[in-house]
Every structure is written in structure tokens, then in C-alpha cells.
Amino acid sequence: MSASIGGRGTATSSPVDDRRREILTRLDQDGRVEVGLLAVDLGVTEETIRRDLRVLELDGRLRRAHGGAVRTDLDPGQDSGVSGALAARALTLVAPGSAVFLGAGSASEALAGGLATTAGTVIVTGSV
């Protein structure tokens, strides 16, 4: 919905529209936005930002993630090649017989696959 300013018929967007547009602009630039930072920068509460993110997610404009949101084209189920590159580099740093602690994520999964062929390497994880 648009409003006019000063009776001249000049259409402007609402503060909500402006805020959501700014969220999407930052998301396009950075790939991820954080609720707390957006709230401070845009002068609203974190709950207001969360509500904006929910609406934008329902519109298919982003995907909410812990503490913020990411672009929809940054699907965690798809490996853009970065995880494989990180795993390949990490493999060059692991000597046979080493113990390696792995966290969660696609890079760790790729690294685990490479370590499985490294003789005597012990893989330690935080989960069963």
C-alpha cells in the first residue's frame, strides 16, 4: 500500500516495505543477515526483524537460519564446491596416524570421506 506526501500524489512505500527492502539488499550483498545487527541498524526490535524474516521467507525471498537468514540460493544441501576445496586443503595438513576432531557440516563430511583412506587416522566427533 502506498501513501501520498503533502497532497502532491507522490507515492512512497511504508516503513515496513523500506525495512524489508533493506533486509533483502543486505542479504544480496552478504549472503546472510543477523537478527541482532539488523535490529540495531534499523532501529527496531529483534522481534520485528524476526517477523519481517518470517514474511520474507513465506514469500520465498530468503530462508531463515539460526540467528538470521540466508539467501535461498545458498542451499545447505548443495555443495558449491567450497566444502570440497576446504576438505582437499585440510587433507594436505593431516599426517597419517593423526587424530582429527570433526564438527558438523558439509566441509567436515567431505573431509571425513578423505580421511577414511588415510592410514591410521582417528576421526573424533561430538556425536554418535
Q: What is the pLDDT of residues 26-74, one digit of tens each?
A: 999 988 899 999 999 999 999 999 999 999 999 999 989 888 998 887 6
Identify the pLDDT of residue 43.
Answer: 97
Query: Is there a single domain that holds both residue 9 and residue 41?
Result: yes
Pick from 64, 37, 66: nearest CA to 52: 64
59 vs 106: which has the higher pLDDT: 59
58 vs 84: CA distance, rounded Å: 31
Structurally, the chain folds into a number of domains equal to 2
Residue 119 lies in a domain: yes
Alpha carbon 95 to chain centroid distance? 32
Q: Is-contact 87 111, C-beta < 8 A?
A: yes
Q: Which residues pair with 33 in a beta bridge?
A: 69
Strands 99-102 and 122-125: parallel
Q: How many residues does the chain have?
A: 128
Determine the structural domain holding residue 113 and report its residue range. 82-125
Q: What is the pLDDT of residue 9?
A: 47
Is 30 in the same domain as 66?
Answer: yes
Specify the pTM.
Answer: 0.53
* Helix H or strand E encompassing 101: strand 99-102
Residue finishing a domain among 30, 49, 70: 70
- Whether 94 is in a domain gets the answer yes
Residue corresponding to grid cell 545458498: 74
Predicted local confidence at residue 53, as pLDDT: 95
Do residues 63 and 70 lie in contact, with contact meaning Cβ atoms separated by under 8 Å? yes
Specify whether the CB–CB gap between 6 and 26 falls below 8 A: no
> Is the per-residue pLDDT at 93 higher than 90?
no
Domain identity same for 54 and 105: no
Same domain, 7 and 45: yes
